[in-house]
Amino acid sequence: MASHFRNVTFNQQDASIVDNKVVTAHYTAANFVPKNLMEQFSKAANLYFLFLSGLQVTPKVTTTGGIPTIGAPLFLIVTLNAAKDALEDWRRHKSDREENERKCLCVTGSGASAKLEEKNWSDLRVGSMVVVRNNEYVPADMVIVTTAHEQGHAYIETANLDGETNLKTKQAPKAAFDLLKGTGADKAAAVAKCCSIDWKCECELPNEFLYTFAGNVTAKGSAGEEKIPLDEQHILLRGCKVKNVQWALGSVVYTGKETKILMNSKEKVGRKVSHLESTLNKIVLIIFLFQSVLCLIGGLSAAMFETDKNNFSKMYLPLTDAEGNALYSFIVVLLIRYFNFMILFSNFIPISLLVSMSIAKVIQIFFFYADKDMIYKGINCMPRTSDLNDELGQIEYVFSDKTGTLTQNVMDFRKFCVDGVSYGQGVTEIKRQVMFRKGLPVTEPPPPPPDAKKTSNVDLVDPVLDELLKNKSGGQYEKVKDFFFHLAVNHEVVPEVDDNGAMSGYSASSPDEAALCYGANHHGWKFLGKDTTGMTVETIDGSKIKVQVLAQIKFTSARKKSSVIVQYTQDGKEYLKLLTKGADSAIISRLEAQYLNSPETKQSMETLKEFAEDGLRTLCLASRQLTRSEVDDWLQKWNVASLATENRQDKMDEVSDLLEVNLTMDGITGIEDRLQDEVGETIIKMVEAGIKVWMLTGDKTETAINIGIATGLLEAEAGSKGERPEFSTPDFEDAEGKFKPTDMTNKLKTVAAEARQTFTKGDMFEGMVMDGKCLEIALQPENEKDFVAICKVCRTVICCRVTPKQKGAVVRLIKAEEKAITLAIGDGANDCNMIMSADVGIGIRGLEGLQAFNVCDYGISQFRFLQYLLLVHGRWCYRRVAILCNYMFYKNFVVVLPQYFLGLVSGFSGQKLYHDALYQSYNVFFTFLPIMVFGVIDQDVSKRVSLLYPELYKAGLQGLYWNVKVSAGWIASGIWHAMCCFFVPYIVMANGNITHSDGKANDIWGMGFVILTLVCIVTNVVVLMETYYWHKLVTLGMGLTIFAYLSGNAMITGVMFMMSSNLYGTMFRMLFCPMIMAVILVGTLCAVMVDIHIKGLQCCYFPSIMHKVQEKVIEKKI
C-alpha cells in the first residue's frame, strides 16, 4: 500500500524522486515535425484539404493535371502554424534554460567536511541542503532550519506565487533554531553545526495547496532526539524571494514539477471557444453536406449523359472505346465525376476562414491594450486570449465579486463599538449613495481640526473618543483600552522599516489586518515588532509591554476566526488571556451566556447591524482570562495535534474549539472599503444594455443589500419595480437557532411557482437576495430548477456569505440551464473558481494579488473598464467577426457556383472555368485584405456613441449579426451574385457570340476571366457596403487588392504564359474591349442593386436601434 507521507533525510539527496529541472516546452528537436503535423492534421479542416490534395493527384479524378494546387495554400497555413508553434516553444525552451541554470549555494559533504558550493537549480534533489541569500529566489520548496536573523525569521516576497509584494514572515521551528544557536550570522558555522545533527523529516506528499503544509522533523544530536512539528510557517516555496535577512538555511522537500508553484501552474483543461466559433463548425458541416449534394447531382447527371447510348454517336466526345462500347460503367463515371466536382467545389469551405478570423482577432486585442480609457496607474487592459473577443459582445450574465472588484480594497478603520457604545462619526460613501438614491438628505459632520493626528488607513473622527482617551479614566476607558490592545496583539502584521531603521508602516497579507493595526496605532497602542517569544506593544502612556505569545491559532476559511494565547504584565499585574477575532457568526455563538444576553451585548449586535447597513466590513473581538493549569493542559493537546501528520488541521481545529468558549465581547470593528470610481454608472449602463448583473460576495446580507442599492443593482425601496424575495438563514431558524432546510425549500418552491407565473405574463422581479446557507439548499439537484426559475425573472441576484465553490457552482448552473453566455469578474483567489467556470473570465489586477489575474481571459485594473470592454470593444468585435465569417462563406459561394452553372450548360463534364493559379489566389490575394481591414477596425458608431446608447449592445444578445436567418441571407445573396456574375457574361459571350471587333469568338478561358473579374469586383464592393468607418487603411487595402488582381493576371496571362498557353493575352484582350467592360458594369449593377435596395428598405421601414442612432449622428444631434 502506498505511503501517504514523504520521508526526507536532510543532506542526503534522494535520486528516486523527480529532479528539480523544469520543462514547460511542448516539443523537442527530435519530435517537433511529427508531433506538430499530427496535431495539425487532427483538425477536420486540415484533413479535408489534405484529402482534396490527394484527389488532385489521382488520375482520372484530377481536374488540375495531377498538380495539387490546394497543396500550396495548405502548406502555407500548416507552415505558418508550425512556425508560430516553434517560436512559442523556443521561448519556452529559453525560459526553461534560464530557470534551470540559475545558481544557488548548496551544501556538499557531511559533518565537519561539509562546505558550500554553487550549483544549478536543476542539480538539486529532495534532501539537498541549500542556503538562500538576501534578494535571492528560493530554488525549490524547502524547510527552514535556521536563518541569520536573531530570532530565526525569514522575510519573503511572494509576488511570483500570488502577486502580493508585501513581505510575509517565515521562521525556523523554534526547537530547530535553538539547536543551532551560537553560530550567529556565520553561515559556514551554521552549516557545519547543522550537518553534525541527523535530521529525519516526515511530511505530506506533494500537493497544490500554497498555504498549507504539515510534517515533522526528528533531530538527533549529542543532546538526544527531539521531534519538532512543521507547518506552513516553516517552509519556503519555490519562486519566493528572501528579503531583509542575510541568509536562510534549509532542506529541499519538493522539487521540480512537484513544487507547489508548478503544481498550480498546470494548464487549464481544454480551450475556451466562443459560441460563434462553435456554431461555425456546424455551418461548415451544413455547407459540406450542401457541397456533397451538388457533387452528387453533378455526378449523376454526368453518368447518365456519358452512359446514354444516344450520345455515343457524338464523335467529338470520347465516350466509347474502339468497339463502340461505353468507356466506363455508370458507377465508375458517377464516382469519377463526383470527385471531379468535389475538387472544383473545394472552395465552398474557405481554407482561409479560421486563419483570417484568428489573425483579425489577434490584431483586435492590440486595440484593447492600447485603449487609453482602460489604463489605470500605468496598467493597461491585458488580453490573455484573442479567442473570445466576439464573445464579449454577447454577454448575458455578469457575475461580480464585491471586495476589490466593486470596491477599492483599500481599507480604512472607520468605526468601532465597545460595550454597546459606538465610536466614529460621519456617513460612509456607500451609505451616502444609498441615502441619495432614497432621496434622503445627507448631513456631513464638521471636518477634524487642522492639527488632528493623521494616520494611513484610518478615517475615524469622534470628539467623544478623543476626550475619553485624553482623560484616561473610567470603566469605559478600560474597556476601550482592552479593545485597542487586542487590535495591537492579535494579528500577523509585519512592521516595515526604512533605510534609517525607523518603522515606516505595516505590511500584511490582508488589508483588513493592516487597517486594524493602524487603527490601534492611531489611538495610542503601537505594535513595534515580533520575535520568537512574542511581540512588543507601546501603550498610550508611552510604556512598552512585552507580550509573550504562547500559542497562535490561525485564521482559516472554515473557522472564520483567529486566536492567540498571550501572557504579559501591565501595571504590575500578570495577565494570561485568550484573544479571539473573527466573523460575527463565529464569535457570537461562543460568548458566555450571561454576556450574550446582556443589554450591552444586545446593543452591540444592533450596532453591528448598523455597521453592515453602512457597508462596513465588520469583525467581532472577544477574550477570556485563562488559568495556568488550563493553558498547560490545552498546550499538551495542541502539541499532540500539531505533530500529527494525517488530518492535522482537523485535529487542531478540534483542540482549538475546546479553548474558544465562554468568551467576553471586547468590541466590534467597522472597516470601510470605498466603491471604485464609476461603479454605479457602469452597472446601470450594462443593465440598460440588457445584461443581468449579479453580485456574489462573502459579506453579510445587510452589507450586500446596501452595496446593491449604492451601485444601482437594487432599487432604494424594495418592491418598487417588482418583487424582491429574500432568503436569509435567520428566517428559517427555530427558537433554538437551528436551521430548518424544509422551510427554506418550501419557500423556494412557493416563490418559484410565482416566478413562473410572472414569466408567463412577461413581467420581472426586481431581484433576489440569498445567503450562502440558503444557496446551499437551492443548489441541490432537486431544487436547481426552482432556483433557476426565480433567477430567470430577476433583474439581478445578490448572493451573500458564499464560498468560492458556491460562486463557481452558480455560474455553471446558469450556463447549463439557461444556455446563456456568462462573464465572471473578480480580483482574488476566492474568485478563480467562477472566473474559470464562466464563458469569459475577467481578472482585476488589484491588491489581493494576481491569482484571479493569472487565470483570467482578460485582465483590467478597474471595474468601470468593463463598460469599454463590453459595450465598445466587445460589441465592435462581435459585429466584425460575425460579418467576417458570413462574408467568407458568401464570397466562396460567389466564386464556386459559376462552375456549377457551367456544368448545367455543359453536361456536367467536369470542365474547369478558372485557371488553377487564379482560382487559388482568390482567397489569398484577391479578396483577403478588404475584409481583414474591416474585421480589425470597422466601427458602426464611435466609442462615445456606443457608451451613450448602451441599447446598441442588444444586437449581440439577440444575435442580429450571427443567426440562421442572417447566414441564410448571406448565402442567398451569394447565390444571386453568382448568377449575375455567370449568366450576364455567358449570355453575351457564349454560343459563338462576337464581342470583339476582330470577329474572333470567345473561348471558355476568356469568359472565365471575365466571370472571375466580376466576382472579385462584386465581393469587394459588398465589403465596402458593410463598412461604416472609412479609414485610410480601407483605401490602402482596396488599392492593394486591385493591384494584386491586375498584376497577378498580367503575369499569368502575359509574362508567365507558359503556365497556360490558353490564357496568353486574355487579360488585355478582355479589358480593352468596350463590350466586355459594359458586361462587367452591368453584371456588377445587377448584383449589388438588390443589396442596396434591401438595405434602403430596411433603414426606411424597419430601422433598428443602430439605424436610428446613426441617423442622429449624421444629423449631428449627438
Confidence grade of residue 269 (pLDDT, cut at 50, 70, 90): very low
Distance CA 872, CA 866 (A): 9
Task: Say whether pLDDT at 838 is over 90.
Answer: yes
Please name which of 500, 392, 493 lies closest in space to residue 825, comparing C-alpha atoms.
392
pLDDT at 164: 58
Q: Per residue in 881-913, is it b (16+ CB within 10 Å) or e — as a string? A: bbbbbbbbbbbbbbbbbbbbbbbeeebbebebb
What's phi and psi for 562, nearest 5 deg?
-135, 150
Confidence grade of residue 162 (pLDDT, cut at 50, 70, 90): low
pLDDT in tens, 898-926: 999 998 888 888 788 998 888 888 988 89
Please name which of 305, 291, 285 lies closest in space to residue 338, comparing C-alpha atoms.
291
pLDDT at 715: 85
Is 123 annotated in the active site?
no
How many other CB atoms are there within 10 angstroms of residue 735's CB atom? 5
pLDDT in tens, 130-144: 999 999 999 999 999
Confidence grade of residue 720 (pLDDT, cut at 50, 70, 90): confident
Q: What is the mean pLDDT of residues 862-886?
A: 96
Task: Say whether pLDDT at 271 is over 90.
Answer: no
pLDDT at 766: 92
pLDDT in tens, 1056-1109: 655 566 788 888 889 899 999 999 999 999 999 999 999 999 999 999 889 999
pLDDT in tens, 30-58: 999 999 999 888 777 788 888 888 988 88
Confidence grade of residue 1 (pLDDT, cut at 50, 70, 90): very low
Q: Per residue in 104-114, is it b (16+ CB within 10 Å) or e — as a string? A: bbbbeeeeeeb
% of the chain beyond a pLDDT of 70: 96
Distance CA 978, CA 108 (A): 79
pLDDT in tens, 56-66: 888 888 878 88
pTM for the full predicted model: 0.80
C-alpha cell at 610: 448598523
CA 278 vs CA 271, 273, 281, 837: distances in Å: 12, 7, 6, 17
Question: Which residue out of 19, 162, 401, 673 is catalytically annotated?
Answer: 401
pLDDT at 165: 61
Q: Which residue has the higher pLDDT, 381 or 269?
A: 381
Distance CA 356, CA 892 (A): 14
pLDDT in tens, 333-391: 899 889 988 888 888 888 778 788 888 998 999 999 999 999 998 899 999 888 899 99
pLDDT in tens, 423-439: 998 888 888 888 877 77
Distance CA 469, CA 1013 (A): 90
Task: Say whether pLDDT at 163 is over 70.
Answer: no
Average pLDDT, whole number, for the chain?
88
Residue type, 797: V
Confidence grade of residue 419 (pLDDT, cut at 50, 70, 90): very high
Q: Which residue has the higher pLDDT, 440 or 775?
A: 775
Three-state secondary structure of 717-772? CCCECECCCEECHHHHECCCCCECHHHHHHHHHHHHHHHHHHHHHCCCECCEEEEH
pLDDT at 709: 86
pLDDT in tens, 576-597: 999 999 988 889 989 998 888 8
pLDDT at 3: 63
Our CA angle for 957, 963, 965, nearest 5°, is 130
pLDDT at 431: 84
The dihedral built from the CA positions of residue 790, 796, 802 and 804, taken in this order, carries a sign that is positive
pLDDT at 1007: 94
Confidence grade of residue 557 (pLDDT, cut at 50, 70, 90): low
pLDDT in tens, 723-769: 899 999 888 988 777 889 999 999 999 999 999 999 999 899 999 99
DSSP codes joined into one string, 308-338? -GGGTT-TTS--B-TTS-BSS-HHHHHHHHH
Residue type, 397: Y
pLDDT in tens, 533-550: 679 999 998 899 999 999
